[in-house]
Amino acid sequence: SAVISQKPSRDICQRGTSLTIQCQVDSQVTMMFWYRQQPGQSLTLIATANQGSEATYESGFVIDKFPISRPNLTFSTLTVSNMSPEDSSIYLCSVGGRRDTNYGYTFGSGTRLTVV
Amino acid sequence: GQQVMQIPQYQHVQEGEDFTTYCNSSTTLSNIQWYKQRPGGHPVFLIQLVKSGEVKKQKRLTFQFGEAKKNSSLHITATQTTDVGTYFCAGPNSGAGSYQLTFGKGTKLSVIP
């Protein structure tokens, strides 16, 4: 299965600033997914990042707040913009759904963000 | 939109006892997946079920997919402390060929040694 390197692993940020999270995959993948997981909660899909096209955002998430880049088939970034304490959460990237992984999804190790 | 409900939210068991978590979807699913997330970790894929009534086993874990493909369960026999974590079910979003997953709220398992 794919190996994902996600960074930073954690950060503490001031409100009003922005943080960019990076995910590097060790193989080429068509789609990458970005999730948010608030403490003790489930995973909520933020957006799907396709190489060569605009990301597709889920209801409640907008590009101005969570801009995504997908410059090639192995890399993506998610920026959390103009942060507020409500953005404190774990952010995870994910790839998968392929036959060679029994269609399971692989997650990065996550970025634990605290906004103060 | 699609909803995936999971119960119970928490389960505390004595080591050696069995554990079951249940997942129900508001719509018929083409497949269902199960993930385990250890404390402080990220979700790790366990298995995918596709066929109506399918049952799969992984050592002490037994996964079932309902006949109507709207519910699923994960049963752990004789829990061990290594089973501690949160177990999530996930189904693909509605729509042909959807690759996006909707996750249940998860069941957090605590095992008392």
d(CA B89, CA B107): 9
Higher-confidence position of B99 and B113: B113
Q: Is B97 on the interface with A (CB under 8 A)?
A: no
DSSP state of A100: G
The whole-chain average pLDDT of chain A stands at 93
The yes-or-no verdict on residue B41 having pLDDT over 60 is: yes
The yes-or-no verdict on residue A9 having pLDDT over 90 is: yes
d(CA A6, CA A37): 15
Q: Identify which of A1, A42, A109 has the shortest CB distance to residue B103.
A: A42
The yes-or-no verdict on residue A2 having pLDDT over 90 is: no
Mark yes or no for CB contact B45/A105 under 8 Å. yes
DSSP state of B51: S
d(CA B63, CA B70): 14
For residue A79, give the nearest of A43, A40, A52, A46 by alpha carbon.
Answer: A46
Q: What are phi and psi of B70, to 5 degrees?
A: -125, -5
Q: Is B99 on the interface with A (CB under 8 A)?
A: yes
**Residues of chain A contacting residue B42, judged by C-beta atoms under 8 Å apart:** 92, 107-110
Pick among B32, B45, B49 to test the A interface (most A CBs inside 10 A): B45
Please compute, for residue B65, the number of CA atoms within 13 A of its CA located in the half-sphere on the CB side.
22
